[in-house]
Amino acid sequence: MFLVGLTGGIASGKSTVVAMLQALGCAVIDADVIARQVVQPRFLAYRRIVHSFGPEILLETGEINREALGSIIFSQPEKRQLLNSITHPEIQKEILKQILKYFVLGYRYVILDIPLLFETNTLTKFMKHTVLVYCDPQTQLVRLMQRNGLTRAEAEARIAAQLPLDQKVKLASHVIDNSGDLETTRKQALKLHTSLEDSMDFLLVRLLALTAAAGVGSVVYFLLRHLVA
């Protein structure tokens, strides 16, 4: 099994493409969903955040007030680093758990849906392939204005806050152009899925896993033999 990092830009249609790939039977791990899960009360990260930032960041329900916490970390870079140091290890643990689950289930590849894949650049080295969901700048602008009810200036400001899609294109090994109609995008998603399913890249990981398992088995057998003897 190998990993495929999928990303996009605001209003480029990443969620649409993810839904198409899931409909084709692809295993998808959503980093944003995991990031929201690990700050729920039952997780270690929640307790560490409350300890570090104080109970004033909590809602009456006991859950973390994301707006209150956001206002703190955006105005104080050192607080943002502290939050990242708490949440990132927990997010990575949960991602790893899901990867192992899909590995055991026999999937040939797993898609990691990571909005800031190229911006953070910490997980790209683990990806066998990277996929960018692209759309042309004008289409992106119009879609964002319509979707969020923004003025042109507001939409342009939000787009400018991200790494431009034209730069991300140069970093991706595969590009799905979502500038046109849904059927055109669906054909590209199917083509990508087919090429990844037909790839032999998963065999290397399976071989390494079998070799490691065989090695562990030999050690156990050796120890048992000598203990019995």
Q: Indicate the domain borders of the chain.
A: 2-38+92-198, 203-229
| Nearby residues of 38 by Cβ (< 8 Å), 6 or more positions away | 45, 46, 87, 90, 91, 94
CATH hierarchy code of domain 2-38+92-198: 3.40.50.300
| Cβ atoms of 123 and 117 closer than 8 Å | yes
Per-residue pLDDT tens for 52-98?
Answer: 999 999 999 999 999 899 889 878 889 989 999 999 999 999 999 99
As a whole number of angstroms, the distance between CA 3 and CA 24 comes to: 17
pLDDT of residue 216: 46
- Residue 155: CA atoms inside 13 Å, Cβ hemisphere, count? 19
Tens-digit pLDDT profile for residues 162-209: 999 999 999 999 999 999 999 999 999 999 999 999 887 666 555 555
The pTM (predicted TM-score) of the whole model is 0.81
